[in-house]
Amino acid sequence: MAYAIIHYFPGGTKDQYEKSIAAVHPSSGGLPTGQIFHTAGPTPGGWTVIAVHDTKESWERFREQILMPRLKQGIAGGLAGPPQETAFEAHTLSM
């Protein structure tokens, strides 16, 4: 079942997002393995990222092996983490 993640970065900006995404997504410009949807944009007071993975396990692998280690290391000029997170099994996914 698809798994959706919403990350909110208080005070986050487009420039910080672009630096962060360059550090955690494949250099080919594609999505990480298992991620089937990604969108992001400014929201009141910060920046929000929404991603959908094909399974919860796929999300957990990406989070533990790529995302959190890079955020903990610090990404020069990137989003400060950890973000506020909401996650859920997607009942419906239309694209």
For the residues of the chain, what is the DSSP string, one character each?
--EEEEEEEET--HHHHHHHHHHHS-TTSSPPTTEEEEEEEEETTEEEEEEEESSHHHHHHHIIIIIHHHHHH--TT---SSPEEEEEE-S----
Query: Which pLDDT does position 70 carry in this prediction?
Result: 87
Handedness of CA 59, 61, 67, 69 (dihedral sign): positive
End-to-end CA distance of the chain: 15
Query: Which pLDDT does position 95 carry in this prediction?
Result: 73
Delimit the domains of the chain by residue range.
3-89
CA–CA dist 22, 31 (Å, integer):
11
Query: Which pLDDT does position 74 carry in this prediction?
Result: 87
Query: Which pLDDT does position 68 carry in this prediction?
Result: 85
CA–CA dist 48, 68 (Å, integer):
17
Give the class (CATH, top level) of 3-89: alpha beta
Query: Which pLDDT does position 83 carry in this prediction?
Result: 87
Block mean pLDDT (10 aa), the chain, length 95 = 96 96 87 95 97 97 91 89 90 82
pTM listed for this prediction:
0.90
